[in-house]
Structure 1
Amino acid sequence: MKTLFDKVWEKHVIIGEEGEAQLIYIDLHLLHEVTSPQAFSGLRMENRKVRRPELCFATMDHNTPTIKEDREYIKDEISRAQLEALEKNCKEFDIELAHMKDSRNGIVHIVGPEQGLTQPGKTIVCGDSHTATHGAFGAIAFGIGTSEVEHVLATQTLWQKKPKNMGIKVTGKLPKGVYAKDVILYFIRTYGVAIGNGYAFEFFGDTIENMNMEERLTICNMAIEAGGKCGIIAPDEKTFEYLKGKQYAPKGIKWEEKIKEWKELYTDSIEAYDKLIEIDVSNLIPQVTWGTSPEMTIDITGVFPQIKDRNDEKAYEYMDLKPGDSPKEIPLKHVFIGSCTNGRLSDLIVGASYIRGRKVNKNITAIVVPGSQIVKKEAEKMGIDKIFKEAGFQWREAGCSTCLGMNPDLIPSGEHCASTSNRNFEGRQGKGARTHLVSPAMAVLAAIYGHFVDSRKEVGEEQI
């Protein structure tokens, strides 16, 4: 009796006893400009080659400006040096790179799935904590540090201790105006940022089954925020349909063989989990973070909690809020729609569905940053860019943007931003920036009204 995670893990163990560190084989190594330069330097110092360059894929995302003109010359010296180093390293070590002018360029965790690099049953690593995203395909995917990036480049393997298994059963039909982002925020709020320490999460249940692949990616993306090693979801017909025809997906007879293999990737019984959590989202209310950790979250209809410890006290000081206030009273100045959490085409479609004939509030600066150039192009084909621009949103090039303060898209100190990203830590969006995590629907409505409103009361059209 095994879990989905067990089955994938065991196929990749090279040596090592269970309960101890084991050497596992890595099927896909994704790279970007921030965590790779030192790793490549380490290879040179030891006169080593990349063991399997064809199993590596790189993209530029964290440091890339999202205004087209700014991409011609990167003004920030550190950012420019990292981007130039990635290009040089990929050329020297024969690794495929989706550079800024490449039509496939975008955030690494969006590029992997849309290129068909992310597949069921794979082990996937990247020097980025939100690598957990790729687990939505039934892969074991997790973030690694720079020294581990070097180890994988040199050996295509990694020493890891197998985590325990935690099943997260999610049931119930989501109310209109409530989305995958609300589900994962609610989970983190309920069980805390440490519930997953020492565990791999598997999300399952009818709610997960009814989600499309992009919604499942949102769920797994934030598994790390609950302390999990990774998040994983069993592949099904939706997974196969999503992958079919993608550039790096198997073709012909190999495709048929893989489908048979992938259909065996499921948990045999809930008894196989070391721990099981069940949540019912039938009556879930849209979620908003108020503090400086993803677990500091409340319902849009609620009020900020009383101070229970020094962490709460510090969070209120940083955010300039106080217990008993309502989310609707947060003095928003910025709205960001994008990131590897909610920068996919379906996220932009949802956001656009709430706009019809409306305008961005005069007190709000709102930007939309597609997660990849492919997402951007597809959205423009559908006219989504026009809907956003006519409402007063800025429409940008692909990149991590203001999810984190590593590029020009910074939130000014002391100002509040409604963000579809994944972290609301102090300084995450720029020094002194104040971040509130929400779904794309909540973010769009905040841009229109100038403050948070309940997305259930403003249900968008299902199609734009």
Structure 2
Amino acid sequence: MEKNTLFDKIWDSHVVRSVPNGPDVFFIDKHFIHEVTSPVAFLNLEKRGIGVLHPDRTVGTPDHNVPTVDQDKTIKDKLSRMQVERLRENCKKYDIELHDLGSDHHGIVHVIGPELGITQPGMTIVCGDSHTSTHGAFGAIAFGIGTSEVEMVLATQCIMQTKAKKMRITVDGELGGGVTSKDIILYIIAKISAAGATGYFVEYAGMAIRRLSMEARMTICNMSIEMGARGGLIAPDETTFAYLKGKQYAPKGEAWDQAVAYWKTLKTDEEAVFDKEYTFDAADIEPMITYGTNPGMGIKIKGNIPTTEGMEGSNKISYLKSLEYMGFAPGEPIKGKKVDYVFVGSCTNGRIEDIRSVAAFVKGKQKAANITAWIVPGSREVEKMAHEEGLVKILEDAGFELRQPGCSACLAMNDDKIPSGKYAVSTSNRNFEGRQGPGARTLLASPLTVAAVAVTGEIADPREVF
């Protein structure tokens, strides 16, 4: 009997037709849309006189371009305003569920899907956004698509897709104190590089992964694409089921029991073969931080920026260019570097657990005078919980500014930009040149590390500060 991976089981059950020597016609269970990549797709449908085949399988929310202050007022930026208005019009026209600005469940698309229970094990999920891989934490095949593919899914509920190669990354052992899931994924990317998983779908396994909460698992799957992967996934287990139980769109009653019985089958068979495997020891992982201009340029916070020893040609040139942009030198320590901004938020670390962890560490303390501290909940639900639990007061007393839900300073598509030349330690997912604003210098880290930086005003090890 053939031994299959979790990825095989979900993929093969969703293939409508295989094209000889070509891609599969692949059925999509859930399609998330937002204001940036959907307007052109809807416009093309209209031009072709085609409707939306399964509007009940699509869910929309504006997130990328939305302001995070005064969301009840008209959006000032003309393009952003137009894109959000188009999303409203298209969702209304085609009877698509929309969680609009100001509604109870508005938020970042990859935050509201799981918290509403829309995201479930065994599903295929797409969105016109690369960090759709987040949903893989539930044991789903989830990946980002382009605008033409958004149009294809709206029209047919299918996509033409070639099956990816399979990789398994096992993290075994116990994590040390102050080490989070963000450190795990930054460590993995630093080890295998920002292109090390190109062409693969990655399954994460091992004791250290199984012991993570659902929110922590989402952080890991979210950043799978930062090492070139098509997506990442984790087999569902009791942690997954407990998270989903009672959620608005989760199955109820007898349907719940049937769903869980199926979900329990969603695991890789013993002796199933992967195209590539990596194993890491959790004990070797420490708080991590990036120093360059791609997420693979990461080091342990107590480490030194790598030297150019052994580098040649274009690799050396691009490496030095990256350090020049960041204002760093090869071989110097990263710890102690002065910082200007901290940002807690995004689809990577904008969930309630992230905000709780920062609040717990800064309680009774003050941010450093040189730090501007932004904390942006990933959804209205997260914002509500942060108020109810008293976290907002703790954070505001410490000098943090709480903003309204949205992608915010993760990317420079809204008003929350880091000024040119300034350093930001961010819980987001990318540190490319200009990612957080023209000339902005971004260092990626965990919420705990961000809390330590906020309090000290410089790059600091959370294990020492707290």
Deviations 1:342-370 (A, max 9, x none): 00011111111111211011101001001
CA distance in 1, matches of 2:357, 2:270: 35
User: How far off is 1:160 after superposition?
Assistant: 0.4
Following superposition, the deviation at residue 17 of structure 1 comes to 5.1
1:344 maps to amino acid: R
Shift of 1:382: 0.6
1:283: how far off?
3.1
Q: Distance in 2 between matches of 1:270 and 1:210?
A: 23
DSSP 3-state at the match of 1:354: helix
The answer as to 2:50 corresponding to 1:43 is no
**Contact 2:134/2:222 (CA < 8 Å) preserved in 1?**
yes
Aligned counterparts of 1:261 and 1:285: Cα–Cα separation in 2: 37
Match in the other structure for 2:29: 27
C-alpha contact 1:19 1:162 (8 A) present in aligned 2: no
- Per the alignment, residue 201 of structure 1 pairs with 202
Residue 179 of structure 2: aligned partner: 178
**Structure 2 matches for 1:376-395, cutoff 5 A?**
376-395=383-402
Distance change (3 Å), C-alpha of 1:321 and 1:414: same
Could you give the per-residue CA deviations for residues 129-166 of structure 1, whole angstroms, max 9, x where no partner exists?
Answer: 00000000000000000000000000000010001110
- The one-letter amino acid paired with 1:199 is Y
* CA distance in structure 2 between the aligned counterparts of 1:350 and 1:111, rounded to whole angstroms: 20
TM-superposed CA distance for 1:194, in Å, is: 1.3
Q: How many residues align?
A: 458
Q: Which residue of 1 aligns with 2:348?
A: 341
Q: How many angstroms does 1:197 deviate by?
A: 1.2
Which amino acid letter does the alignment assign opposite residue 194 of structure 1?
Answer: A
Please report how far the alpha carbon of residue 453 of structure 1 lies from its aligned counterpart in structure 2 after TM superposition. Answer: 1.0
CA distance in 2, matches of 1:118, 1:361: 39
Equivalent position SS for 1:203: strand
Q: CA RMSD in A?
A: 1.1
2:444 matches 1:437 = yes
Question: Who is 1:148 aligned against?
Answer: 149
Partner Cα distance (1:119, 1:6) in 2: 17
Matches within 5 A, 1:262-411: 262-307=263-308, 308=311, 309-411=316-418
1-side partners of 2:203 and 2:172: how far apart?
A: 14
Cα distance in 2 for residues equivalent to 1:283 and 1:161: 36
Deviations 1:289-315 (A, max 9, x none): 000000111111111111331221110
Amino acid across the alignment from 1:176: G
Aligned twin of 1:76: 77
Q: How many angstroms apart in 2 are the aligned matches of 1:269 and 1:214?
A: 27
Q: Cα offset for 1:20?
A: 3.0
Structure 1 residues 324 and 395: CA distance shift in structure 2, 3 A:
same
CA distance in 1, matches of 2:266, 2:19: 23
SS at match of 1:327: coil
Separation in structure 1 between the aligned mates of residue 456 and residue 223 of structure 2, nearest angstrom: 27
CA contact (8 A) 2:71 2:101 kept: no
Give the match for residue 114 of structure 1: 115
1:416 corresponding residue in structure 2: 423
User: Structure 1 pair 313/71, CA: closer, same or farther in 2 (3 Å)?
Assistant: farther
Kept after mapping to 1: 8 A contact 2:10/2:123: yes
> Contact between 2:171 and 2:207, CA under 8 Å: does it hold in 1?
yes
State the distance in 1 between where 2:178 and 2:465 align: 7
Task: Report if the CA contact (8 A) 2:338-2:459 is conserved.
Answer: no
Query: Aligned partner of 1:115: which letter?
Result: L
1:20-65 per-position Cα deviation (integer Å, ceiling 9, x unaligned):
3000100000000000000000100001110000000001111111
Corresponding position of 1:139: 140
For the 8 Å contact 1:181–1:218, the answer to whether it is kept is yes
C-alpha distance after superposition, 1:413-442 (max 9, x if no partner): 110000000000000001110000000000
1:66 aligns with 68
Q: Which runs of 5+ in 1 are unaligned?
A: 460-464
Q: Structure 1 CA distance, aligned partners of 2:149 and 2:416?
A: 29
Q: Is the 8 A contact 1:337 1:343 kept in 2?
A: yes
SS at match of 1:272: coil
Say if 1:303 and 1:325, in contact at 8 Å, map to a contact too.
yes
8 Å contact kept, 2:336–2:460: no
Q: The residue matched to 1:315 in structure 2 has which SS? A: helix
Question: Structure 2: how far apart are the matches of 1:260 and 1:18?
Answer: 34
Aligned with 1:248: secondary structure? coil
Q: 1:19 and 1:429 mapped to 2: Cα distance?
A: 41
Which amino acid is 2:76 matched to?
K
262-271 or 187-196, larger mean C-alpha shift: 262-271
Kindly indicate whether the alpha-carbon contact (under 8 Å) linking 1:142 and 1:230 is maintained by their aligned counterparts in 2: yes
CA positional deviation for 1:70: 5.0
Amino acid at match of 1:33: E
Listed one character per residue, the Cα deviations across residues 67-96 of structure 1 (whole Å, up to 9, x for unaligned) are 1x2541111111111111101111111101
Partner of 1:248: 249
What letter is aligned with 2:26? I
Q: Which residue of 2 aligns with 1:462?
A: none
- Residue 12 of structure 1: aligned partner: 14
Structure 1 runs (4+) deviating above 6 angstroms are none
**How far 1:331 moved relative to its partner?**
2.6
CA contact (8 A) 1:167 1:277 kept: yes
Shift of 1:18: 7.7
Distance 2:259 2:220 in 1: 25
